[in-house]
Amino acid sequence: MSYLPQIAIDQLKSKLTNDLSVLGKIYKAKKSQFQTLSIDHSRVDEMLLDGWEIVIERKRMATKTKMQKAKHYSRLFEDQVWCQMYELGYRHLNYDENFILPFGQEKENTKQIDVIAIDHETIILIECKSSKQLKKAPSYKELFEGLPIKLNGFKKVLEQAFGRGLKVKYIFATRNLRIDIDDVDFKRLFTTGSFYYNDNTYDYVNSLIKSYKSVATYQFLGLLFKNELINLDKIEVPAVEGDMGGKKYYMFSIEPKLLLKMSFIMHRTRANVEELPTYQRLLVSKRLNGITKFIDNGGYFPNSIILNFSPHKHEVQFEASSRSGDSSSRFGMLKIPNAYAIAYVIDGQHRLYGYANSEYKETNTIPVVAFKNLSSHEQLKTFMDINQNQKAVSPSLKIDLEEDIYWNDPKAVYRMQALRSAIVKGLSNTQDSSLFNKITIGEDGSLLGMKAFTTAISKSGLVPTANGNKYTNANNAGLIYDLSNQNHDDEMRRSKKSVVQFLILCYNYVADSYPSIFDKKQSFIVSARGTYAFIVLIGLLNTYLSEKDGLNFKTTPQDRFDALKDYLKVLLDGLSNITPEEEKRQLTLLGTGADVKWLRFFQTIINSKYPDYEPTELTAWKEMHDDQLQDEGRKFIISVEKHIKKVVIEKMKILFKDNWTLEIKDIWLACLGRAEEENAKNYKEGLSKQKVEWTEMFNIMDYKNILSTYWSKIPDEAEDRVGFKTFEKEFTIDVGYGVHGVKQQLKWITVFNSHRNILAHEGSKENGLNKEEVMFLRTVYDHFFK
């Protein structure tokens, strides 16, 4: 029985067109940022007053004037989304914005849809919301509450109009709207299986269309229908199962047409941020055409496509039929769900997509090595291994090559890599340098690695840092580089020479005047972390003196060194007279931050002699190691945490009586588990009398979850409401993030928890809070106790 009368279906279909000539004209009109009209000459003045402008044409029409007007931002967005669908290959679309889709049999059961696109497999329904400028989105509660009923009705109508088997996807597309996707109302959109299409998604799809041309639809459908079945028929291929590196994999051959639908590329774009870490770049469209032509001319690729079958509800299954007595591998049948985007392409996207427009995509089979259930990090590692480590290349060789590869690169970021590479090689290759042959260059091993030097130079402020073509130094005062010189080759050569000579003078001063420090095996200067601390210190002193005494990029290396010499002398005298205990403590520092700790240690020595030299970062470091300040912060934390626990438990008992623990069942069970673990640990250590109660095992984020869940809850019984203050009234604190909505009102707890974690280990002397962070804790403390 039909869901709607046939006349209603016919009216619906009449609002769509699959006429290619008509679609081409519509596409041209929608692609423009202007709407155009041809009007009688007599109406021109009237239209001009309404914001229209005259289009100057070579040949003026006899009775008409062509005029144009910029599209309204909402109309423009709808047209641009429509054009994306057309560019993705859809050739059955609505021809104007007045497409009304029924979702029920009553006359009022209709909904205007901005874009509808249909092909032989899918129907895409798109609703567009936009703003001229970036702003907070309004509430979509009413829209999303009724969405399940509408979508159910839409599918019935579309099935009647276009037949069964087509997959329907509703897209909610926005532009310039700030939306909290964790909002309870917005989450209703995702419960319907719909897709949210924001600014990043729009840009990403445009990039796909630009790079992948007519075959972008495969990645687009994977984006929309990820892990959804195309049909119930599984794809069965003969395969060999094996183990490699502790990972299970399958080797098989498959037609590209089948693989294209189930594959997905982990592009490193903002649109795929939830998939992080992503690792693939968009493919090169010129290469794609060449590969297709190569295949169609009889070419082939004997190497395998590398995949990972992602973990989800539709798992691949392997049915083994035999095992060779000489091998642990097994032959059998691999059964692959016929679903979108279940296979992430780790290597071989160009080869795979080269088949997309080939006449052989249904008849050729391509070799595949497919892993199962690799994590994103494991996929990234595999990708890096394939692309970097097939031939082992040492880090020093890579840095060594940067000078030759990037010296004349059009982008500043790569030129600066080349400059840093050249400076390090200059330090090691200059014979009058105390570092001569002490740095590993290329494949020639030595005492120190190039990486430590390039990292230190990039942080020193001696030469520029860049992102793309934009220089990014926070302070340009100490640069030994003329940013205004557009002859990059000339300036880089001059800068390299000056920096190398300056650093050689500094290192030679240590070697000549303080040989006991320079020649020591565990040296504060000649070591990886010493390299970082010494060179960055030299750079920071150079910046300080550039601001204080007027040093600039024209200052000679000798004059620059003479200006710094007294500061270096204080440092080296301090290191010479260091107590054995302090020396041992510094030399045995562990962890990735040890080099920065040495830098601060060096700065502290200089600051003791030159109090005026106290950079901001040193002030903060000293504050973080001020025991009195840390004790004050710890006092605030303990008091606030006790207060939170007391108030939360008291109010939960008032709100829910004896059932309060059931209201927080997950947290309650987690705390019970923590308490049992702690009691078991105490028992093993002979402390069984110290019974830990579960209420002692709340963490700060547990409290935050409870507060946000029952934020404005009041007791059910009238007598309990007398004098009762809601969590909202008790725990709303504005610490600079605003108080508009629960998220902002409780932002302080997240910050409080991060500060608490820093001071969690009372014996730690390596971490601490600065003054500003302790003042934050005081603000929170004062809220509750003043």
Q: For helices 665-684 and 700-709, what crossing angle results, to 10°? A: 160
**pLDDT value at position 273?**
46
| Mean pLDDT rounded to a whole number for the chain | 86
**Is residue 688 pLDDT above 50, yes or no?**
yes
At residue 397, the pLDDT reads 59
Give residues with Cβ within 8 angstroms of 318, minimum separation 6.
239, 241, 250, 330, 332, 333, 334, 335
More confident residue, 573 or 281: 573
Mean pLDDT of 429-456: 82
Average confidence (pLDDT) over 358-372: 91
**pLDDT over 80 at 396, yes or no:** no
Q: What's residue 200's pLDDT?
A: 77
Burial track 577-605 (b if 16+ CB lie within 10 A, e otherwise): ebeeeeeeebbeeeeeebbbbbbbbbbbb
Q: What is the pLDDT of residue 649?
A: 93
* Whole-prediction pTM: 0.50
pLDDT of residue 276: 45
pLDDT of residue 24: 94
Q: Which range is least confidently modeled, 395-399, 517-521, 633-637?
A: 395-399
pLDDT band at 766 (very low <50, low <70, confident <90, very high): low
Minimum mean pLDDT range among 45-59, 160-174, 210-224, 416-430: 45-59
Q: Judging by DSSP bridges, how do beta strands 305-309 and 466-467 pair with one another?
A: unpaired
Q: Do 247 and 371 meet the contact criterion of CB atoms below 8 Å apart?
A: yes
CA distance 468 to 410: 9
- Which of 206-220, 229-243, 275-289 is predicted with the least confidence, judged by mean pLDDT? 275-289
By CB atoms closer than 10 A (0-12, 13-18, 19+), residue 245 is exposed
Question: What is the band of 180 on the pLDDT scale with cuts at 50, 70, 90?
Answer: confident
Residue 148: in which H helix or E strand, if any?
helix 147-162
For 183-200, how does the pLDDT look when each residue is reduced to its tens digit (9 = 90+)? Answer: 888 888 889 999 999 887
- How do residues 86-132 score in pLDDT, each as one tens digit? 999 999 999 988 899 999 888 888 999 999 999 999 999 999 999 98
The beta-carbon contacts of 66-70 under 8 Å, at least 24 apart in sequence, are 66/36, 66/37, 66/38, 67/36, 67/37, 67/38, 67/39, 68/34, 68/35, 68/36, 68/37, 69/34, 69/35, 70/33, 70/34
Q: 264: Cβ–Cβ under 8 A, 6 or more apart, which residues? A: 219, 222, 223, 226, 340, 341, 342, 343, 344, 345
Radius of gyration of the chain (CA): 34
- Digit-coded pLDDT (tens) for 3-18: 888 898 999 999 999 9
Query: What's the rounded Cα separation, in Å, for the pair 159 and 167?
Result: 10
CA distance 446 to 617: 33
Residue 387 has a pLDDT of: 62
Please tell me the predicted confidence (pLDDT) of residue 624.
79
More confident residue, 619 or 125: 125
User: pLDDT of 64-96, one tens digit each?
Assistant: 888 888 899 999 999 999 999 999 999 999 998
Task: Give me the pLDDT at residue 261, please.
Answer: 87
Phi, psi of 75 (to 5 degrees): -65, -40
Q: Around 16, how many Cα atoms within 13 Å sit in the side-chain half-sphere?
A: 24
Q: Are 226 and 339 in contact (CB under 8 A)?
A: no
Confidence of residue 279 (pLDDT cuts 50, 70, 90): low
Q: Is 129 helix (H, G, I), strand (E, B) or coil?
A: strand
Query: Does 765 have pLDDT greater than 70?
Result: no
Q: Is the pLDDT of residue 763 over 50?
A: no
Asked whether the beta carbons of 345 and 274 are under 8 A apart, the reply is no
Question: Long-range contacts of range 134-138, CB-CB < 8 Å, 24 or more positions apart?
Answer: 134/176, 134/177, 134/178, 135/176, 135/177, 135/178, 136/177, 136/178, 137/174, 137/177, 137/178, 137/179
Q: What digits encode the pLDDT tens for the residues 296-336?
A: 888 888 888 989 887 777 788 999 886 666 777 889 999 99
Give the pLDDT score at 622. 79
3 state SS of 35: strand
Q: Count other C-beta atoms under 10 Å from residue 471's C-beta.
A: 16
- DSSP collapsed to 3 states, 603-670: HHHHHHHCCCCCCHHHHHHHHHCCHHHHHHHHHHHHHHHHHHHHHHHHHHHHHHHHHHHHHCHHHHHH
Secondary structure element (H or E) that encloses residue 53, with its range: strand 53-54
Lowest mean pLDDT among 147-156, 256-265, 463-472: 256-265
Encode pLDDT of 586-611 as tens digits. 888 776 678 888 898 899 999 989 99
**Residue 394 pLDDT > 60:** no
Residue 520, pLDDT score: 84
In this predicted structure, the answer to whether residue 741 has a pLDDT above a threshold of 90 is no
- The 3-class secondary structure across 367-408, one letter per residue, is EEEEEECCCHHHHHHHHHHHHHCCCCCCHHHHHHHHHHHHCC
pLDDT digits (tens, 9 = 90+) for 502-554: 999 999 999 999 999 998 877 899 988 899 999 999 999 999 999 999 999 99
What is the tens place of the pLDDT at every residue in 215-255? 888 888 988 888 888 888 889 999 999 888 788 899 999 99
476-511 in b/e form (b: 16+ CB < 10 A) is: ebbbbbeeeeeebeebbebbbebbbbbbbbbbbbbb
- Going by pLDDT thresholds of 50, 70 and 90, the confidence category of residue 390 is very low
